[in-house]
Amino acid sequence: MNAAAPDLDVDEILADRAIRIVVCCGSGGVGKTTTAAALALRAAEEHGRRTVVLTIDPARRLAQALGLTELDNTPRQVKGLQPDSAELHAMMLDMKRTFDEVVLAHTEPKKAEEIFANPFYQAMSSTFSGTQEYMAMEKLGQLRARDEWDLIVVDTPPSRSALDFLDAPARLSRFLDGKMLRLLLAPARAGGRSVFNLVSASFGLFSRTVTKILGAQLLSDLSGFVGALDSMFGGFRERAEQTYRVLQAPETAFLVVAAPEPDAVREAVYFAGRLAADRMPLAGLVLNRVVPVAAPRLSADDARAAAARLDEMGGHPSTADVLRVHAELAELHDRQAEVAGRFLHAHPGVPVVRIPAQPADVHDLDGLRAIGSTFE
């Protein structure tokens, strides 16, 4: 690892009352969700901040680590914290339930029933590409608006790309403003005339082609969905854009989480560049699963040479074995440092905190505290 990289003081971030949101981002499989939970626990226990952590599809063992039988769309208080700790709540995003809550909050009950019954809405709210990322933004906006917590810790969705979380509002706006949706919305604004009558009269062959490709029923479902949601579209965009501005504000701190692996570091480099381009506050890099070495000044070559000499002397076989293990760990550590150095070369000056590889999966609060202790 490049020694010039400044150390990231995570405790300074967690203790800063001006910072209200910490966003953990990065590729999947790098320990991002566990890192978010450890940050939230430390903020509550060590810094006295009433905290909520929003996780996205966490492993079941994480709920168990927090002492909860389940995580859902409602914040649940975590028990078993240290004396004099502030409250810690945890929740897991349920994108369909969040979408339902938005519909209920911004439409009349009868209109909401129509939307819920629409097959296109049922599909979009559960499986539509980008819905999870957008609803994560929506839920973050809801949590901030409630103003019940000193700190919100967000674990971004395990998407193909971590950038999907930031792109969701723009993608939703493109979808809602698209030519096809404006075309389908026309019947609802024309007094409820059939989409097929209106479009066929105006567009002829185009309409027949679209109907053939999509199917008459799907086109009808989509038209009904668009018409029912017409009054909500501006609200979707407005809230998404407002949350986006919050993410650019000084009250937010982004932590890029990565493991010292080529794909994860490459994603971290790209994401850090995107944060800079979008003027979002990057606080630093959390480098997970770093292999520690007990004697960093003893190189792998020297350790192997010392083991060979002990073998020649015919004694201390256990010491020779320890030296060989150290040599293997030292080589792995050096390879990890070389990979991680690619991030530091691309983004010099970004603070870094290194989290040692854990001997076992985290399964309780003590495990999360052990990770949190490395932030010191």
Q: What is the tens place of the pLDDT at every residue in 314-341?
A: 767 788 889 999 999 999 999 999 999 9
What is the extent of the structural domain holding 200? 10-291+357-373
Q: Is residue 2 part of a domain?
A: no
Mean pLDDT of all residues in 16-21: 98
Distance from the first to the final alpha carbon of the chain? 19
| Residue-level pLDDT at 209 | 47
Overall number of domains in the chain: 2
Is-contact 35 371, C-beta < 8 A? yes
Are residue 79 and residue 140 in the same domain, yes or no? Answer: yes
Name 175's Cβ contacts closer than 8 Å, sequence gap at least 6. Answer: 130, 181
Q: Quick one: pLDDT at residue 57?
A: 67
Residue 3 falls inside a structural domain: no
Q: Name the band, by pLDDT with cuts 50, 70 and 90, for residue 214.
A: very low
In angstroms, rounded to a whole number, what is the distance separating the alpha carbons of residues 13 and 248? 16
Domain of 24, CATH number, reads: 3.40.50.300
Instruction: Inform me whether the pLDDT recorded for 140 exceeds 80.
Output: yes
Asked if the structure places residue 51 within a domain, the reply is yes
pLDDT of residue 230: 58
**At residue 259, what are phi and psi to the nearest 5 degrees?**
-110, 155
Which tokens go with 26? 């990065």
Confidence of residue 77 (pLDDT cuts 50, 70, 90): very high
pLDDT exceeds 50 at position 223: yes
Residue 83, C-beta contacts closer than 8 angstroms, at least 6 positions apart? none
pTM (predicted TM-score): 0.83
DSSP H or E segment with residue 171? helix 164-177
Q: What pLDDT does 85 receive?
A: 96
In a domain, residue 122? The reply is: yes
Same domain, 301 and 285: no
What pLDDT does 282 receive? Answer: 96
For residues 251 and 339, state if they share a domain: no
Whether 355 contacts 1, CB under 8 Å: no
The answer to whether 38 and 32 have CB atoms below 8 angstroms apart is no
Query: Which residues make Cβ contacts (< 8 Å) with residue 207, sequence separation at least 6?
Result: 196, 199, 200
Least confident window among 40-49, 63-72, 153-162: 153-162
Mean pLDDT value across residues 350-374: 91
Q: Are residues 304 and 160 in the same domain?
A: no
Q: Please report, rounded to a whole number, the percentage of residues in the chain having pLDDT higher than 70.
A: 78
Query: Is pLDDT larger for residue 11 or for residue 306?
Result: 11
Are 27 and 14 members of one domain? yes
Evaluate whether residue 1 is within a structural domain: no
Mean of the per-residue pLDDT values of the chain: 82
CA distance 119 to 221: 6
Q: Name the residue with higher pLDDT: 248 or 161.
A: 248
In a domain, residue 193? The reply is yes
pLDDT band for position 175 (cuts 50, 70, 90) = low
Q: Do the beta carbons of residue 286 and residue 343 sit within 8 Å?
A: no
Same-domain check for residues 228 and 246: yes
Is 233 in the same domain as 323? no
47 with 186, same domain? Answer: yes
The answer to whether residue 69 scores a pLDDT higher than 60 is yes
Q: How far is CA 350 from CA 9, 177, 282, in A?
A: 12, 38, 8
Quick one: pLDDT at residue 4? 64
Tell me: pLDDT of 247 over 50: yes
Identify whether residues 259 and 332 lie together within a single domain: no
Total number of residues shown for the chain: 376
| Same domain assignment for residues 171 and 228 | yes
Which region among 60-69, 182-191, 290-299, 343-352 has the lowest average model confidence (pLDDT)?
182-191
Mean local confidence (pLDDT), 215-239 = 64
Which pair of structure tokens corresponds to residue 228? 């029912």
Considering the domain boundaries, does residue 215 fall inside one?
A: yes
Q: Which of 151, 125, 130, 129 is nearest to 140 (CA)?
A: 151
Residue type, 124: M
Q: How confident is the model at residue 266 (pLDDT cuts 50, 70, 90)?
A: very high
Instruction: Say whether both 134 and 283 belong to one domain.
Output: yes
Contact 272, 258 (CB under 8 A): no
Query: Confidence band (pLDDT; 50, 70, 90) for 222?
Result: low
Q: Are residues 94 and 173 in the same domain?
A: yes
Is 200 a domain residue?
Answer: yes
